[in-house]
Amino acid sequence: MERIQALDRTCVSRRRFLGGMAAGAGTAAVATLAAGCGSSSMSMSTPPAQTQITDADVLNFALNLEYLEAEYYLRAATGTGLSDADAGTGAGMVTGGGQVVFATPAIQQYALEIANDELAHVRFLRKALGSAAVSRPAIDFTNSFNAAAMAAGIGSSFNPFADENSFLVGAFTFEDVGVTAYHGAAGLLQSKAYLSAAAGIMATEAYHAAEIRTLIAELGGAYLDAANKISALRAAAGGGAEVSVSGSTIVAADSDSIAFDRDTDEVLHIVYLNATTGAVASGGFYPNGMNGAIKASTK
C-alpha cells in the first residue's frame, strides 16, 4: 500500500471512517477487528420529513449505494464499470478507478464474485423500481479516497486500485456501511416483499464484509492499521462508538450478536465525507450528491 507508514498494530474496527475530517485526523483508532457499525437499537430515523418517505424512496437510497459498490468492484475486477443500460439515463460520470493487478488468484476471484453480486443488486433494484429508479449519480474514487487518507492520518493520498492489498482496504470502507444501511432501512420499509428482499441483500453484504475483514486481518501490518484508522474516522461521521461487545474478531455485532445499524443521516455523512452536524447534501464519493428523495441529512 502506498504511503502507509508503519504504525502500532491494532485491530480493525468498523464504524469509524471518514467523519474525522471535521474533527481532525488524530482521532484514536479503535478496538477490535469486529468493532461494530452503529447501535443495534434499530432506530433508523426518518430522513427529511417534508413529504412522506415511500418504499421507492428507500429503495432508491439503497440503489445509490449499490451503484457506488458496483462501480468500485467492477472497475477493480474488470477495468470497466456499469454499462449505460445499468447506469440509467443521464447517469453521472465516474472519476478514477481501474483494473487491479491481482497477485493472488483467490483474491482476484473474490473481487470478481463480489463485483457480480453488486451488479446483480443494481439490476434487481432497478427492476423492482421500474420507471421510478434513479440513475447513477456522479461518483468520485480519486479525490474522495485522497481526502479520506489525509483525514485518517494514513498519508496524503490513497489509491485503492494500486494493488490487491490496497483494494481490500478500499473495499472495507464500503461493505461495512452497506450492512448497517440495510439494517437501518428495515424500519422504513412498509412492503413485506421489499423488506424480505432488503434482508436478503443485507445478508449478502454481510458475507462480503466478513470476507474482506478476514483477509485484512490476515494481512496485518500497515494494511490492518490503515483499516483501523479508516474505521476510527468513519465513526465520527456515522455516529456511535465502534467497539465490539460480542467478542468476535470478524462479525461486527452487539452482545446479542445483532448487527449494528445506521440511519440515513449517518450514512450520508459517511459517504459525503462530512462529520459536521446538520444538513449535508453532497461531497466525498458523491460530489454532486445522491439521486432521489433521500439525499440530504437533517442532523
Structural domain boundaries enclosing 85: 20-271
> What is residue 253's three-state secondary structure?
strand
| Percent helix / strand / coil, the chain, rounded to 5 | 50, 5, 50
Answer yes or no: is 2 within a domain.
Answer: no
Answer yes or no: is 276 within a domain.
Answer: no
Answer yes or no: is 208 within a domain.
Answer: yes
Answer yes or no: is 6 within a domain.
Answer: no
Answer yes or no: is 282 within a domain.
Answer: no
pLDDT by residue (tens digit) across 105-143?
A: 999 999 999 999 999 999 999 999 999 999 999 999 999
Answer yes or no: is 66 within a domain.
Answer: yes
pLDDT by residue (tens digit) across 270-279?
A: 999 987 777 8
Total domains present in the chain: 1
User: φ and ψ at 261, to 5 degrees?
Assistant: -130, 160
Measured CA to CA in angstroms, residue 218 lies from 118, 165, 213, 215 at distances of 24, 11, 9, 5
Answer yes or no: is 299 within a domain.
Answer: no
* pTM of model > 0.75: yes
First to last CA, the chain: 35
Answer yes or no: is 148 within a domain.
Answer: yes
Q: Which residues of the chain have pLDDT under 50?
A: 1-50, 241, 244-246
Angle at 289 between CA 285 and CA 294, to 5 degrees: 115
